[in-house]
Structure 1
Amino acid sequence: MKTTYLLTAALAGALTAIAPAPAAAQGSGILGEDASACTNGQGPAIRATITGLRDRSGRLKLELYPGNEDDFLKDDRDLRSEGKFFRRVWADTPESGSVVLCIKAPSPGSYALFFTHDRDGKNKFNFWRDGAGFAKPGNLGRSRPRLEQALVNVGSGVTNVTIRAQYLRGVAGFRPID
């Protein structure tokens, strides 16, 4: 039960800020307010292909954190007050087709990338309903996500990653649905 609480607290703390839901770039099929950075190759940016969504409800979110343990999943207000980088992009979940989001990075380097599927659109992580994922393979399980699962090395152009969404699956914790 304690590990469930830790995961809930970590995810909830990372998911509480409010932001508008941007549209896809004109005709590109890439979602998020940073879509043009990926369609025009204006890196550094991350093009994240999302697989394994449970359904096409709600909204999708990508968050980019500094690539270190102290700042990983830290509240964005704290990061900003400390003068540290943080970026978040939102997109409505498309009714069909591939799901690709883009997020800009401030410069080439190592960052922690976190994805959430806010299925009810309430902008508050629902441990029982919402999904989450990282660029590295492996199940999230029941404990706080590890930094290693989220690290992405971003180059000067567009870095491509695939994130497999995971949802609570009984006592085993968060796992892909398929």
Structure 2
Amino acid sequence: MKSVILTVVLVAATGIAAAPATAQIIGTDAAACAPGGGPAILANLTGLKDRKGSLKLELYPAAEDDFLKDDYELVAQGKVFRRVRAGTPASGSVSVCIRVPHPGRYALLATHDRDGKNKFNFFSDGAGFPSNKKLGMSRPKLAEAVIDVGSGVTTTTIRMQYLRGVLSGFGPTKDG
């Protein structure tokens, strides 16, 4: 009996065999989310409608005038903008990493480009923000996208949302 208790205590203390398998971190910034990395955001994307196309994270300044602004304008003005793309994995958990220039407050957008055309298709593509608030039919508000990032890796879970009907707007899938 003592050996069983000792084994349980050792497993709990070391995390061996007790920890769930970690998801593969994808995206061109994956190395920034490795242990000891950062500053970066690790976005765990849930509720994907399917495994088609690609995924994208976009980082914006946390300012109303800059939120969802065209990237070329932000870059021309010397403001923060970063984009990371990754193919949608065929199965398993989905964790996408995006590095940030320094600790601070940012706005983060995740999209699921299902048709692969690299242009958001309102009728088929998905979107999500750190707040996970139901998007509906209105333009997302900055407050829904804001995330505070420290000097290490900040983890967030984003529930993807897709058009559920013309009257109900964007919302999570049934199992998302």
TM-score between both structures, scaled by the size of structure 2: 0.84
Where does residue 154 of structure 1 map in the other structure? 149
List per-residue Cα deviations over 1:127-173 (Å, max 9, x = no partner): 00000000112101101100000000000000000000000011110
Q: How far off its partner does 1:41 sit?
A: 2.8
Q: Which moved more, 1:63-72 or 1:37-46?
A: 37-46
Cα distance in 2 for partners of 1:151, 1:91 equals 22
**Superposition misfits of 4+ residues, deviation over 4 angstroms:** none
Q: Which moved more, 1:147-156 or 1:39-48?
A: 39-48
2:25 aligned to which of 27, 30, 44: 30
Where does residue 173 of structure 2 map in the other structure? 177
- Tell me if structure 2 keeps the 8 A contact 1:49–1:100: yes
5 Å matches for 1:91-170? Answer: 91-170=86-165
5 Å matches for 1:32-111? Answer: 32-111=27-106
- Tell me if structure 1 keeps the 8 A contact 2:55–2:86: yes
List per-residue Cα deviations over 1:43-101 (Å, max 9, x = no partner): 11000000000000000000000011010000000000001110000000000000000
- Tell me if structure 1 keeps the 8 A contact 2:111–2:126: yes
Cα distance in 1 for partners of 2:52, 2:106 equals 28
**Whose Rg is larger?**
2
- Tell me if structure 2 keeps the 8 A contact 1:63–1:113: yes
- Tell me if structure 1 keeps the 8 A contact 2:23–2:95: no
Any unmatched runs of 5+ in structure 1? 1-26
Cα distance in 1 for partners of 2:67, 2:94 equals 25
RMSD: 1.1
Any unmatched runs of 5+ in structure 2? 1-21
